[in-house]
Structure 1
Amino acid sequence: MACSSNNTAAAAIATAHERRTADFHPTVWADFFLTHVFSDQETVNGWNAGIEALKENVKAMLSAPTPEKLRLIDVVERLGIGYHFEEEIEEQLQEIHHHPNNNIDEDLFTIALRFRLLRQHGYNVPSDVFKRFQNEEGEETFNKEELGRSDDVEGMMSLYEAGYLRMQGETILDEAIVFTTAQLAKYSEELAAAAGEHQNGLLMKRVARVLKRPLRKAVDRHEQLFFISVYEQTEGHDPILLKLAKLSWNSLQHLYQQELRSITRWWIDLDFATKLSFARDRLIEIYFWAVGAMWEPKFSTSRYVLSKLTMLVSVVDDIYDVHGTIDELEIFTTAVEKWDTSMKDFPNYMKIFFGALIDALDEVDAITTGEGRPYCLEYGKQTEKNQMRAYITEARWFAKGEVPKIEEYRRVGVYSCGYPLLAYSALCGLGDKAPKEAFDWLLAFPKIMGAVADHCRLMDDIVSHEFEQKRGHVASSVECYMNQHDVSRDEAVNALNRMVEDDWKVINEECLLINRPVFVCREVISMFVGLAKVMEVLYKDFDSYTFSNTSTMDMITALLVTPMDVVPN
């Protein structure tokens, strides 16, 4: 079949989503991905051939000596082509880390960029590199006269981005975020007044984007799309990098479409739309979640496993929250604890769900055992048990009308949020990069797992607790904090937002190479950061997962449907 035009594909998915929203028919959008052919194989082969032809040029750029090496690495990664050059980039960053340039004449932009790139890649760079930009000794504020010049917007954005790699106790980076936020807001007003000039307009877009969401909290794939559009309009951009970025975007998008087609067949065959009509249909959103957390091609199996198991988590979440009686839930939880597959005392809807869960885990077992990792299934069962224990605890609280203390709620919430299961799913797809020791480490609930899961639970509660309370739900962290500390909703939300920022500081610290066990590969760490980033995009101001007929559809269309136009040679 011929490749659909961009406009046709976008219009088709919009129509499918409108039908699903209007009719509440769970398979409409999924069926669209199953039946729609986006690109013919000849076109895809052309993209891949173009990628291979350009990669050698970029490898040569990365290995050549240049004072602009840091900027080149940053552009390559932000264009979404860094996965082609992981070894080359790592080699360059190791050299930069081991032989730092202590030139006191370096500007703010360069110092902040080096700091951010090295920390993003796990190097323990001290934050005191920014002390030279502060006021006299004893004052932990940045020098407004020196740094507040209107012509150094790039430097201010660079410092702003670096600030979000902060860890506990790094007050200099806390202050950097406060200072740069104010300065960038001022620059935004100045740029708006002079937006008639093209490059000023581009810079204004970038400043607005940064203030909305720093890179550390942005879904990589989403930001790559934005950066490609800006880079293309920037004077002096490299046409080789731009073309490679567009070809890579299209090639990866085609891979996503193939993965989603396979997952969709499974979902439609389950026919939960008919059998379990009370459950939310969020297959496409969950796959978007998987892409958001792990977008590179090497994560293909992880995305596949994560999408299936997380879709089932979404269903069982609705079983515990809105459909099952407390007696039914007690029976179900006990059966899962024993892994009793007879299901003799289950109501029919629970038999349907548990049967699907067993089949999904059996498929994961077949995949991992075929790779020589027969131990993965038992970890999956244990993770599911932990999830159900958390669910039944919350169901008992709700049945009794009990509002737990915030500390107790958070201890349970890190499991009920589902992120431990998502992390397990990701490890299952990493082959020999996730040995048995990595699963033991994950099951022991390392600090990074706790921080990412707590971040997920709190962000979800902050934006969705009012809706959840209306439909009948256990008290969220918002109600728990209000009840325990006798404060208003706004005061509780402010306190929870501070906890979210503390979680980010723990995540940043745990990403450092010095804190990573030898059997935990960088892909696992990348996955954790990716999961936190997805929460920032979907739950920052609004529950865009439950109510996905909003900006979520636009993001899904851009990431999964519409290819980029590439100028031929």
Structure 2
Amino acid sequence: MSSIASLNSDSKSELHRNVADFKPSVWGDYFVQYASEFKEFDQNIVAQIETRKSDVRNMLVSKIEKPLAKVHLIDSIIRLGLSYHFEDVIEEVLQHIYDDYVKNGEITNFEDNLCSLAVLFRLLRQQGLYVSPNVFNKFKDEKGNFSERLLSSDVEGMLSLYEATHIMVHGEDILEEALAFTTTHLESIVNQLSYSYAIKVKHSLRQTLHKNLPRLEARNYISIYEHDPSHDKNLLILAKLDFNMLQSLYQKEFGNLCKWWKELDVPNKLPYARDRIVECCFWGLGVYFEPQYSQARKMVTKFFVIATLIDDTYDAYGTIDELELFTMAIKRWDNSCLDNLPDYMKFLYRTILDLYEEIQEDMKNEGRVYVSNYYKKEFIKYIQGMMTEARWLTNNYKPTPEEYICVSREASGYVLLNITCYIGMGDSAIEDIFKWVSNWPKIVTAANVLCRIKDDIVTSEFEQKRGHVSSFVECYMEQYEISRQAAIQEGQRRIVDAWKDMNEECLRPTKVPMPFLTRILNICRVMEVIYKDKDNFTNTEGELKTFIKALLVDPVPI
């Protein structure tokens, strides 16, 4: 079948379907050219990288009197996207600095300049080490406000403080004040700054470091670092070589997944659905960029593809009777259910079971067969949540905001997504990790709220035009009889609170090892990037196209 018209022949032509007007892929078959089983890296480049890594490691472990240089070196390494090479030594250096300069949570006897203190505060918090924000009180005036006299000329300090505030937890009023102060002042002076400073400030105001994707930050920071007169040439060249080597790895991965998509022939079999394989690959890359997670990225990308097809089936195409049949078939989880489904749903059902069988085979080979049971259980819950929302739409039911958020726990498939992310993380993902995430810990609850509300704020008006279950925005407007803008403000307030919850859960001692928490943070970072002002996943001509081009098409000039 090659059109929606022919799909409609499966059922009565008068059935109403809320078909969305999704635009075709902007990438076509571009990435298929990179599909290959093996990717041989230039051994000369690999040798250069290893030599330069050794030099950087020596810089990190060298003994110096003052830790200030180490702090700024670590900050540059992280922002250049190189920290995955030096995790052990970065941990060691920051722990030493913490032991020497933090007493009872307070930074003491460290440099007094705002930039260095703010960078140290951010790095320690990022490392999971609690440090009090009281150190910033010294930059206040006698009235208890941040001193314009002290800070107005210190753009670097204000920018560093601005970045530090985004790792705040609940009850940190001083960081709330600092965020308001630095935002206002940076916005007011940005057009008076030199070109290079203006670029840095605009970038941070647009996408703060803590909420940006590491690869995007690396691509951006390489150009900023290159123009810094004090930059370390060895570190810069390492960052460029490493970026381009990883880019060639990602190109192969994107190519193989685009080839898989082409062979599935989804645009012809499900023409109502979004053709977004490249954007789904970008999601997978956002969850983990490190080279050792190649197989994990493949699995997560396939899951994002299937979730997109399910979303468009439940939200945009399937009739309520068809969806009830499909939901029953998923609950039974058996190929024998295919006979009762319309042809287009048979294809979707087979695709879901094919991925499950692929997961099962991988987990059997790794001796972790229990994982597929967690996946299957959460997949069924996910579909049931989608079905609840479909019934709400059919019955014109308007849930309360809290009822909506409650059902979204299942309909968002958020636990299922995390389980899929953990599948590819090897032996460290023991069964306790899957039990933990399945029980909706605080960080998972917060991340689900953030992802759902972030999506709703930018998509709700478009979706309501074609008929769609009420979003958080509509639910809140109706419940409290307020304007759309006021409901959006409430959603944004909840997103801010969700980030505070997540930041809190990443402070030591953590419930699970940090790599598992990082996946949760990274999923939220993808949301912050793709759904900044609009739905760039669905409408791919804008920023997302630029980001994919920067990471996957254009190499960094050496």
Secondary structure, aligned partner of 2:167: coil
Task: Work out whether 1:444 is the aligned partner of 2:439.
Answer: yes
Distance in 2 separating the partners of 1:48 and 1:419:
38
Give the structure 1 partner of residue 281 of structure 2.
287
| Distance in structure 2 (CA, Å) of the matches to 1:370 and 1:363 | 11
Identify which of 254, 260, 263 aligns with 2:254: 260
Query: CA-to-partner distance for each residue in 1:230-266, whole Å, 9 max, x for gaps?
Result: 1111112111001000010011111111212222222
Alignment match, 1:11: none
Q: Which residue number in structure 2 is paired with residue 14 of structure 1?
A: none
In the TM superposition, what are the counterparts of 1:167-566 in structure 2 within 5 Å? 167-191=169-193, 200-343=194-337, 344-514=339-509, 516-517=510-511, 520-566=512-558
SS at match of 1:99: helix
The residue identity in structure 2 corresponding to 1:561 is V
Aligned to 1:58: 56
- In the alignment of these two chains, the number of paired residues is 528
**Greater Cα shift, 435-444 or 290-299:** 290-299
Secondary structure of residue in 2 paired with 1:402: coil
1:75: Cα distance to partner?
A: 0.3
8 A Cα contact 1:163 1:176, kept in partner: yes
Aligned partners of 2:34, 2:437: CA distance in 1, in Å?
A: 38
Native 8 Å contact 1:424 1:439 kept in 2: yes
1:448–1:507 CA contact under 8 A, matched in 2: yes
Q: Secondary structure of 1:541's partner?
A: coil
| TM-score computed with the length of structure 2 as normaliser | 0.91
Report SS of the residue matched to 2:336.
Answer: coil
Task: Name the aligned partner's letter for residue 314 of structure 1.
Answer: T
Q: Are the counterparts in 2 of residues 447 and 506 from structure 1 also a CA contact under 8 Å?
A: yes
Q: Distance in 1 between matches of 2:332 and 2:135?
A: 55
Structure 1: unaligned runs, 5 residues or longer: 1-21, 192-199
Equivalent position amino acid for 2:455 in 1? D
Secondary structure of the 1:564 match is coil
- CA RMSD between the two structures: 1.9
Question: CA offsets, 1:451-503, max 9 Å, x none?
Answer: 11111110111011011011211011110000000001111111111111111
CA distance in structure 2 between the partners assigned to 1:298 and 1:104 by the alignment: 37
Contact 2:110 2:117 in 1 (8 A): no
Q: State the match for 1:44 in structure 2.
A: 42
**Partners of 2:54 and 2:437 in 1: how far apart?**
38
Partner of 1:76: 77
- Is the 1:112–1:159 Cα contact (8 Å) retained in structure 2? yes
Shift in CA distance, 129/393, structure 1 to aligned 2, threshold 3 Å = same
2-structure distance, mates of 1:508, 1:497: 17
Q: Which amino acid aligns with 2:129?
A: Y
What's the counterpart of residue 122 of structure 1? Answer: 128
Residue in 2 aligned with 1:164?
166
In 2, distance between residues paired with 1:537 and 1:482?
A: 26
Counterparts of 1:41 and 1:498 in 2: how far apart (Å)? 46
* Aligned partner of residue 142 in structure 1, secondary structure: coil
Q: For residue 141 of structure 1, report the CA deviation from its aligned partner.
A: 3.0
- Asked whether the 8 Å contact 1:167–1:505 carries over to 2, the reply is yes
The separation in 2 between residues aligned to 1:387 and 1:108, in whole angstroms, is 47
Which segment is superposed worse, 462-471 or 408-417?
408-417
Give distance in 2, aligned partners of 1:41 and 1:370.
Answer: 24
The residue type paired with residue 162 of structure 2 is: Y
* Letter paired with 1:106: D
Measure, in 2, the Cα distance between the counterparts of 1:301 and 1:416: 26
Question: For residues 246 and 112 of structure 2, what CA distance do their matches in structure 1 show?
Answer: 38
TM-score between the two structures when normalised by the length of structure 1: 0.89
Q: In 2, are the aligned partners of 1:301 and 1:430 still within 8 Å (CA)?
A: no
1:25 Cα deviation from its structure 2 partner: 5.4
After superposition, the C-alpha distances for 1:191-215 in whole angstroms (9 at most, x for unaligned) are 1xxxxxxxx3211111111111211
Give, in whole Å, the separation in 1 of the partners of 2:29 and 2:327: 33
- Separation of aligned partners in 1, 2:22 and 2:457: 29
- Between the aligned partners of 2:111 and 2:358, the Cα distance in structure 1 is 58
